[in-house]
Amino acid sequence: MPVARLSSRALIAVTGADARPFLHNLLTQDVEGLAPGELRFGALLSPPGRLLFDLFILGTEDGVLLDVAADRRDALLQRLSMYRLRAKVQIAADDRPVFAAWPETPAGFLADPRTPLLGGRFYGEATADATEADYDAHRLAVGVPDPATDAPADKTYPIEADFDLLNGVDFAKGCFVGQETTSRMKRRGTIKSRMAPLDFDGPPPLFGAEVLQGDLRAGQVLSGRDGSAMALLRLDRLDGDLTVDGRPVRVRRPAWMSAEAFAPPENRS
């Protein structure tokens, strides 16, 4: 079973008497009910409800460990410090490495909370026999977006990045930053675009390249590799022949995504 160190990820430790309620009121995920050793997936949004930081949330005996994009860790540390006010919390970088194993979850690893198809994650020292590029290829084959790459900060709504389908939002937990917009989109079924993989022959198109249905814009290409890429797609323009830069492309609905979630709003029950 392959194991890779994810150098693109880094950790933040949030400890202290108020650590859980502090994060619970900010993040899209339930933190107060998180047991030590339990891993959940969530995000910190902007007040208008757009993605700022995707993160994994690990319950610890003295608080919470956050698994975040390495190049965004300092920005998240600054953001959390701004929200802290009088809360009794300590927020600090944690230098332990992050590892992933797939396609299953080996002993000692924590199952990826987004979908079991992604395998597991581990925080601490482990032996790697694969590369992060290998893991990224597996993630793309499973059809799961990487918000840190595919969703530039403050540009994408979490539901567009499939957070509602990948256990990234607890709609029953009460308030969090950006909750009103997120809940309204889900409740009213007004989801017009989602991220899903495209398959094609040859190298990936450039990030931002237009996906066309005839002459109509059907979306844009995000990150990818030879033969496949993630894309943000309009759900009402997926029928018929799609092209990017004149090349035919094929939309692939992931196994974890229901047909209803992938349907345009007017076709949802």
Tens-place pLDDT, residues 194-224: 999 999 999 999 999 999 999 999 999 999 9
Instruction: Write down the pTM of the prediction.
Output: 0.94
The pLDDT of residue 191? 84
Domains 3-144 and 192-267 share a fold: no
The pLDDT of residue 182? 92
The pLDDT of residue 268? 52
- What's the rounded mean pLDDT across residues 182-201? 90
**Per-residue pLDDT for 239 more than 70?**
yes
CB neighbours (10 Å) of residue 72? 18
**Per-residue pLDDT for 175 more than 60?**
yes
Tens-place pLDDT, residues 62-83: 999 999 999 999 999 999 999 9
CATH class of the region 192-267: mainly beta
Q: Where are the alpha helices (DSSP H) in the chain?
A: 19-24, 73-84, 132-142, 147-150, 179-188
Q: Please choose, from the candidates 96, 100, 108, the residue with its C-alpha nearest in 3D space to the C-alpha of residue 134.
A: 100
The pLDDT of residue 56? 98
pLDDT-based confidence at residue 267 (cuts at 50, 70, 90):
low
The pLDDT of residue 4? 98
Tokens, residue 6: 């994810």
The pLDDT of residue 153? 87
Expressed in percent and rounded to 5, the helix, strand and coil fractions of the chain are 20, 30, 50
CB neighbours (10 Å) of residue 71? 11
Q: Please choose, from the candidates 21, 260, 24, the residue with its C-alpha nearest in 3D space to the C-alpha of residue 164.
A: 260
The pLDDT of residue 252? 96
Tens-place pLDDT, residues 226-238: 999 999 999 999 9
> What residue type is assigned to position 209 of the chain?
A
What is the percent of the chain where pLDDT is above 70?
A: 99
Tens-place pLDDT, residues 5-45: 999 999 999 999 999 999 999 999 999 999 999 999 999 99
Tens-place pLDDT, residues 109-141: 999 999 999 999 999 999 999 999 999 999 999
DSSP-assigned letter for residue 25: T
Q: Please choose, from the candidates 10, 15, 54, the residue with its C-alpha nearest in 3D space to the C-alpha of residue 145.
A: 54
Pairwise CA distance, residues 192 & 203, whole Å: 28
In the CATH scheme, what is the homologous superfamily, with its name and number, of domain 3-144?
Probable tRNA modification gtpase trme; domain 1 (3.30.1360.120)
Asked if residue 242 lies in contact with residue 249, where contact means CB atoms within 8 angstroms, the answer is yes
Domain range annotation of the chain: 3-144, 192-267
The pLDDT of residue 186? 84
pLDDT-based confidence at residue 190 (cuts at 50, 70, 90):
confident
The pLDDT of residue 115? 98
The pLDDT of residue 261? 87
